[in-house]
Amino acid sequence: MDKNFLFDLITPSKNLISGDFDMVVVPGEEGDFGILPNHSNLISQIRPGVLNTYKNNKIDKSFFIYSGFAEFSNNQLIVLSETAFDVNDFKLNNYKDSISEYEKLKNQTKVESEIIFFEKKIEEANTIIEILK
C-alpha cells in the first residue's frame, strides 16, 4: 500500500505546490475532509478555509483557499482555487488596506458590474481576515 500520494494546489496564475504527502485536509463545502493514500475517487466544492498538508504525521504546510474544487483519483489530489496562498504570507494590515481601497473605488463608481466586483472583493478580504486573524 502506498504511503503517500501526489498533491497539486493550482491557481489561475501558478501551481502553488506539487509534491507527495501522507495526508491533506481540505475545507470542503460540506465540512473538512482528509485525503489519505488510495482514497476513493472524490470531487468536492471547497469553501473558504485552511488546507493543511501532512508529512510524517505532522502539518507540513498550510494554505488559505477561498473557493474552488478538489478532485481525487488515481492517487492524486488536485485542488483548483482562484484565491490561494501560504498562510505564512498573510498580513492583516494589507487586507485592511485593501478593504479601504475597494470601499473607496466602490463609492467612486456608478457602474453596477464594478460595484458588484468591489463588493465581492470586500467580502473575500473580510472572510480571509475572519479566518486567519
**Is the per-residue pLDDT at 114 higher than 80?**
yes
What pLDDT, on the 0 to 100 scale, is given for residue 32?
96
71 plus 100 within the same structural domain: no
Q: What does the pLDDT read at residue 2?
A: 73
Shared domain check, 108 and 50: no
Q: Give the pLDDT score at 83.
A: 93
Per-residue pLDDT of 53-102, as tens digits, reads 999 989 999 999 999 999 999 999 999 999 999 999 999 999 999 999 99
Q: How many domains does the chain contain in total?
A: 2
Please give the model's pTM, rounded to 2 decimal places.
Answer: 0.90
Query: Both 81 and 16 in a single domain?
Result: yes
Same domain, 27 and 78: yes
The model's pLDDT over 17-57, given as tens digits with 9 standing for 90+, comes to: 999 999 999 999 999 999 999 999 999 999 999 999 999 98
What pLDDT, on the 0 to 100 scale, is given for residue 1?
A: 56
* 61 to 17, 42, 88: CA distances (angstroms): 10, 22, 9
Claim to verify: residue 53 and residue 74 sit in the same structural domain: yes
42 and 106 co-located in one domain:
no
The alpha carbon of 62 is separated from its chain's Cα centroid by a whole number of angstroms, namely 10
Range of the domain at 78: 5-87
Q: Please check whether residues 63 and 102 belong to one and the same domain.
A: no
Residues 124 and 72 in one domain: no
Say yes or no: 9 and 74 in one domain: yes
